[in-house]
Structures are given as structure tokens and as C-alpha cells.
Chain A
């Protein structure tokens, strides 16, 4: 069973561009979580999704950030009009049952 896959692993965007981060959960996992790790800070929860539904987005910034988990295909975290403060490592996790979460390798976003 392949682990959680994230791509790209590294992403460079200029200020004002859009960033799209993809996450493929482990086979059989229908729960997906996104977390952000800012430099020198801990991991912070952003959003929790099940297939086609956002369950908890209490950690998402109110503007420019959105997430989806369609019926088919990977979960997408989308950041519009990126700013330098968005530079961080973005981790996706999946779970079969809302208990143990399994993390992907992360996408490191750099905004220039």
C-alpha cells in the first residue's frame, strides 16, 4: 500500500501567482487533512475533508485559500495571489477512520 503522495515536492511561485498543491491519500482512506508548517513554527491544522465535503476549515485563512477533495482524483489545496508569508511546508495526511493520521512528505512552497 503506497503511502500518502504529495506533488509537487517543491514549488516556486512569484508573488501574485497561484499555487496548487495535490495530495493523494492512501488507498482506502477517505479522510484528508491539510497542515502548514511555517519556518520556526509548529505544524498548524488548516482543513479536514471527506470525499466532496469540507468538514472543518477552522484553520484556513479566510481569503485566498481553498481546498477540495473531489469524488475522483486527489485533494487540492489552492492558494491564490500568493504572498511571501505563504512560504512554508504544506503537509497532507489521510486516515481511514479519523483516528491515526498518516502524513505525506510535504510540499515546500517558496514565494519569491
Chain B
């Protein structure tokens, strides 16, 4: 059974700092891995999708990597801004492509 874990659960940094969010999964036979952002009381915004054949994806100040052999993914945020404050969720798509298995998220606070 696939389990997804995210550490840390919460992170506070000053504006401008580069940071890394970690995600680990137990079953390396994942299909894809997706990173989301969730603002309080809101829905989920897809940030990056890494397909199982890929090692990383980049969008603006965000870079996500995937290492299936070690069961890990990282989300790197460069030059953090207060507007980046949100909860970041990692989710692995099972082989059947039928369900996303979510971690509990990392709540990021960036102070100005």
C-alpha cells in the first residue's frame, strides 16, 4: 500500500531564502508524482507534474525532482516570497492511474 510522507510539517523562513521541501513514498512503482499548493480554505493548484520516466521539472522559481529508486521527491523554491506562503502537497499517482495518494503537506510561512 502506497504511503506518502512529507517533512517538515511546517517551515518558517525569511523572504529571499532558498528552500527545499521533502516528500517520500513507499512504493517505487508510481506512475507520476504531482506537487500542489493549497491556500487556506481554498482548492489545490497544480504546480508541477513529474512523469515516472523523468527526473525533474521546472516552472519559474520552482524545481521538482524525482528519484524513484530511493522513493523521494523534492520541491525546491528559489528566492522565496511572502506570496509563497501556503501548504504544499505532494501526491503519487498509483500505477493504475486511478488515484492520487497525498502526503499531509508542508505548511510554509515566508516573512517579509
Whether A101 pairs with B103 at a CB distance below 8 angstroms is: no
Q: Interface on B for A, CB 8 Å cutoff?
A: 31-32, 34, 36, 41-46, 49, 51, 89, 91, 93, 96-105
A43 with B89, Cβ < 8 A, contacts A48-B99, A55-B98, A101-B100 known: yes
A36 to B99, CA, bound (A): 12
Known interface pairs A59-B99, A99-B97. Does A104 touch B43 (Cβ–Cβ under 8 Å)? yes
Q: How far is the CB of B92 from chain A (nearest CB, A)?
A: 11
A58 to B46, CA, bound (A): 24
Whether the pair B100, A99 counts as a contact (CB closer than 8 A) is: no
Instruction: State whether B100 touches A105 (Cβ < 8 A).
Output: no
- Cβ-defined contact, A102 with B46, below 8 A: yes
- Residues on the A chain within 8 Å of B36, using CB: 103
In terms of DSSP, what is the predominant structure of the interface of chain B?
strand
Judge whether A58 and B99 touch: CB under 8 Å.
Answer: yes
Q: Which residues of A are in contact with B by a Cβ distance under 8 Å?
A: 33, 35, 41-45, 48, 55-56, 58-59, 91, 93, 98-106, 108
User: In whole angstroms, what is the CA distance A56 to B97 when docked?
Assistant: 10
Residue contact A48 to B98, C-beta cutoff 8 Å: yes
- Rounded to whole angstroms, the CA-CA distance of A59 and B101 in the bound complex is 11
Counting from the closest, the 10 A-B pairs by CB-CB distance are A98-B97, A56-B98, A45-B99, A103-B44, A105-B43, A42-B104, A43-B102, A48-B98, A100-B49, A42-B102
